[in-house]
Amino acid sequence: MPVNPALHIALSHLCHPTEPRTLWIDALCINQEDLKEREEQVGQMRLVYNSARRVLVWLGEEDQNSGAAMSLIANIGGVDLKKLQHNSAFPRRAEWNALFALLQRPWWNRVWIIQEVTVGKSDPFVGCGNQWVPWSKFEELDQILGELEEIGAKVVEGIENPISRLRIIRAGTQGRLKTSWRNLFLLLRATNGCQTTDARDKVFALLGLSSEKDQSVIRPDYTKSAVEIYTAVAKHLIRSEESLNVLMYFKPSELPGLPSWVPDFNLSSASRTYVGETPGKGASADSKPVVDFLNDSKIKARGWILDEVQETSQEEYDAENPGISVSNFEKLARKTLSEVPTMKEEESLSEAFWRCLVADRTLNYEFPAPDSYGHLYSVFCGKVSVPDDFEHEISDSGARKDTYLHPLTSSMLSNLYKARFFITREGRLGFGPLDTRKGDLIVVLQGADVPFVVRECDNDGVYTILREAYVSGLMFGEMFERQSSLSFDRGYRDLVIC
């Protein structure tokens, strides 16, 4: 039987040296060319893994660094980090680099692996070359990496840790967390950035972990296109979640023909929301969505057209030179608002400005951001100095200032990635998608926590959703406190969205 080279290598390592071993391998046991068989087998994947005596995870062949990485994982658990990092037993930089090279192997970004790790009865074993380590050791490593971050020990920067995602999903689907993860929406969000070769499998690979309600509505069907599957999932999530928050995730789309209100669940890289869901009262004040599904490409959603983009920044936010980006936006805002002076009297432009930069929240999603962020912004702009009583182990003034400003600058980086600043006709400050332009409309839809930037298509009364946005004065249901305003009354309508 012909097999691909990667599977041939894996089989040479998975075979027992002296005894027969029975293995179930999807690439061999499922006829990938028979769509009907694939549909039937996909529905049984959870049962297969749950019935297995042991699940073996294969990361690939050994390379010059993987041995050090696997040894580090096997031996790092159960240590006192505060003592360890000050002696020679603390892993060297080369060992950390080897570890993170291992965590960047393609296996970690495949969606089908979620079931491999989460639904087996026993602890999976993870192999690389001839070295094998139980999955529990990877979870110990994840905990240690979190503790290192808490005490400020930098290991390797700029690398995502994929173990956390799997550990949380595993605990959630096994009922070890307060919130059940047998929820398709949560699973899709948790696997944001993970891909499948067949875009339809991004949904099908997670169905076995989702709820019976999800599985009763969405079934594996390879006769349908990815656009059809994703549209069906979007409709189901809007109904089951009673929310339009699904519209803010998985943007911008890379799938041709996908309606703007349907998420692209199989994005090639993890997408970030600019704002995210709001704990407590959001932009639409916890209202329920009023949606009609007109056909497979259009919906009619009730909401408010509240404002219009008046000016946009010339460039996107530059994380390498944040001071320049912020300074340019502030100059643009002051110039524009001097001509359209409609800011609320009780809110200074300076405060509105720094609240905009951090989406009026902390990194821990505390709303609104505390007034201390205003002081940090003054330090950021050089208007005041870092307080003398701020203690930091590094004497270098630049590093001391960077550490002091970390809550502000980290929040800015989190929110403003691939974002463009704008000022609205009514004097609101905001940021949103890079393709925002003058004349785009600011809309709040019933059942959504955040405003959206929308654009009319060819003056025909049909709109396209660009993305969600931060807009000052519209994030926490403020408009419901001013229901007599003309913009509120006139803007309430049904919007057809394609």
Q: What percent of the chain has pLDDT over 70?
A: 89
Closest CA to 155 of 249, 92, 219: 92
Whether 427 contacts 340, CB under 8 Å: yes
Per-residue model confidence (pLDDT) at position 392:
60
Kindly report, residue by residue over 45-101, the tens digit of the pLDDT.
Answer: 888 888 888 999 999 999 989 999 999 999 886 666 655 555 555 667 788 889 989
Kindly report, residue by residue over 265-289, the tens digit of the pLDDT.
Answer: 998 777 777 777 666 678 888 789 9
Per-residue model confidence (pLDDT) at position 258:
96
Q: Could you tell me the end-to-end alpha-carbon distance of the chain, in angstroms, rounded to an integer?
A: 48
* Residue 29 neighbours by CB distance under 10 Å: 10
Per-residue model confidence (pLDDT) at position 347:
53
* Residue 258 neighbours by CB distance under 10 Å: 19
Closest CA to 405 of 392, 418, 415: 392
Per-residue model confidence (pLDDT) at position 376:
92
Q: Is 60 exceeded by the pLDDT of residue 166?
A: yes
> What average pLDDT does the segment 259-265 reach?
95
CA distances from 264 to 155, 267, 449 (A): 33, 6, 20
Q: What is the DSSP string of 332-379?
A: HHHHHHHHS--S-TTS-HHHHHHHHHTTT--TT--SSPPTHHHHHHHH
Q: Is 60 exceeded by the pLDDT of residue 260?
A: yes
> What average pLDDT does the segment 26-43 reach?
86
Of 414 and 53, which is predicted with more confidence? 53
Of 278 and 136, which is predicted with more confidence? 136
C-alpha 192 chain-centroid distance? 6
Closest CA to 230 of 207, 194, 259, 190: 259
Q: Is 50 exceeded by the pLDDT of residue 345?
A: no
Per-residue model confidence (pLDDT) at position 346:
40
Query: Cis omega before residue 17 (within 30°)?
Result: no
Identify any residues that bridge with 291 across adjacent strands, giving them in sequence order. 301
Burial 211-245 (b: 16+ CB within 10 A, else e): beebbebbebebeeebbebbbbbbbbbbebeebbb
- What would the two tokens of residue 32 be? 């990938």
The residue type of 205 is: A
φ and ψ of 324, to 5 deg: -65, -45
Per-residue model confidence (pLDDT) at position 437:
96
Q: What is the DSSP string of 19-55?
A: S------HHHHS-TT-HHHHHHHHTTHHHHHHH-S--
Considering Cα of 409, then 413, then 416, then 419, what sign does the dihedral take? positive
Per-residue model confidence (pLDDT) at position 35:
85
Of 143 and 160, which is predicted with more confidence? 143
Q: Is 80 exceeded by the pLDDT of residue 178?
A: no
> What average pLDDT does the segment 403-409 reach?
85
> What average pLDDT does the segment 150-156 reach?
60
Least confident range of 251-260, 337-346, 352-361, 375-384: 337-346
Confidence of residue 105 (pLDDT cuts 50, 70, 90): very high
Q: Is 60 exceeded by the pLDDT of residue 480?
A: yes
Within 8 A by CB and 6+ apart from 341, the residues are 427
Closest CA to 330 of 273, 383, 397: 383
Q: What's the whole-model pTM score?
A: 0.88
Instruction: List Cβ<8 Å contacts ≥24 apart for 203-207.
Output: 203/229, 203/230, 203/233, 203/265, 204/42, 205/42, 205/45, 205/111, 205/112, 205/114, 205/115, 206/111, 206/114, 207/42, 207/43
Q: Is 80 exceeded by the pLDDT of residue 485?
A: no
Mean residue pLDDT of the chain comes to 85
Per-residue model confidence (pLDDT) at position 339:
66
Per-residue model confidence (pLDDT) at position 486:
43
> What average pLDDT does the segment 474-493 reach?
70
Q: Is 80 exceeded by the pLDDT of residue 397?
A: no
Q: Is 50 exceeded by the pLDDT of residue 226?
A: yes
Per-residue model confidence (pLDDT) at position 194:
87
Whether 445 contacts 410, CB under 8 Å: no
> What average pLDDT does the segment 21-39 reach?
87
Confidence of residue 453 (pLDDT cuts 50, 70, 90): very high
Confidence of residue 402 (pLDDT cuts 50, 70, 90): confident
> What average pLDDT does the segment 324-330 reach?
82
Per-residue model confidence (pLDDT) at position 483:
62
Task: Looking at 119-195, list the stretches that DSSP marks H as alpha helix, in order from N- to C-terminal side.
Answer: 135-150, 162-173, 184-190
Per-residue model confidence (pLDDT) at position 16:
80
C-alpha 263 chain-centroid distance? 13
The residue type of 98 is: A
Least confident range of 76-80, 126-130, 191-195: 76-80
Per-residue model confidence (pLDDT) at position 90:
60
Confidence of residue 387 (pLDDT cuts 50, 70, 90): confident
